[in-house]
Amino acid sequence: MTLFERITADAASAVKGGDEARRDTLRFLLSSLHNRAIEKRGKGDSEALTDEDVMGVVEREVKKRKEAADLFEKGGRAESAAKERAESGILEEYLPAALPESEIERLVDEAIKSTGASSVKDMGKVMGAVMKAAKGARVDASAVGAKAKEKLGG
């Protein structure tokens, strides 16, 4: 079963089960996935979404929700922030587990060695190498950046 099929099935069961928050979140995600398929078709690609395409859309939606929750909290709207965090949690179920900090540290060390990075000026090289090495795994770019900065003396 592809990730798209799993999301579709889960959305259908949420409708039947009466879980409004899950239903609404998954419907919105399916809408975003549909838009991504249309975008691909417009570029002349196959309209079928791969699991990588789906994960990219899910990651983007999670990031939007987390940013919105932070803004709601800063604005004193705790209820709206909680709703965004709940939606983010539902969406994160469809992403692979995030890499642990020890694995991020190992990837950063390898990237520094392979790129010959010696200062904070080389952060771009290190970030690119780590993100390429971690392709397919969920990696928080800000955590990678912080670890790289620490290792490069920034």
Both 83 and 129 in one domain: the answer is no
SS3 category, 138: strand
Q: Are residues 25 and 70 in the same domain?
A: yes
- Please report, rounded to a whole number, the percentage of residues in the chain having pLDDT higher than 90: 42
The mean per-residue pLDDT over the stretch 127-144 comes to: 77
Residue whose entry in the numeric block shows the structure tokens 């991020």: 104
In this prediction, residues 28-51 reach a mean pLDDT of 86
Is the CB of residue 132 less than 8 Å from the CB of residue 115? no
In the listed set 49, 71, 92, which residue is the last one of a domain according to the structure? 92
Confidence of residue 74 (pLDDT cuts 50, 70, 90): very high
* 85 and 18 co-located in one domain: yes
- pLDDT of residue 50 exceeding 80, the answer is yes
Containing domain of residue 10, as a range? 3-92
Mean pLDDT throughout 102-114?
A: 84
Do residues 67 and 106 both lie within one domain? no
Domain boundary among 92, 111, 142: 92
Task: Over range 128-145, report the average pLDDT.
Answer: 77
Instruction: Provide the CATH number for the domain around residue 9.
Output: 1.10.1510.10
Single pTM value for the model: 0.73
CA distance 123 to 129: 10
Name the percent of the chain lying above pLDDT 70.
98
Strand partners, 138: 98
Q: Is the distance from CB of 139 to CB of 98 less than 8 angstroms?
A: yes
pLDDT above 80: residue 154: no
Q: What is the pLDDT of residue 134?
A: 77
Q: Are residues 68 and 122 located together in one domain of the fold?
A: no
Count up the domains in the chain and report the number.
Answer: 2
Residue 136 has pLDDT above 70, yes or no: no
The verdict on 88 and 107 lying in the same domain is no
Domain endpoint, select from 42, 74, 92: 92
Same domain, 88 and 105: no
Statement: residue 55 has pLDDT above 80: yes
CATH number where 130 lies: 1.10.10.410
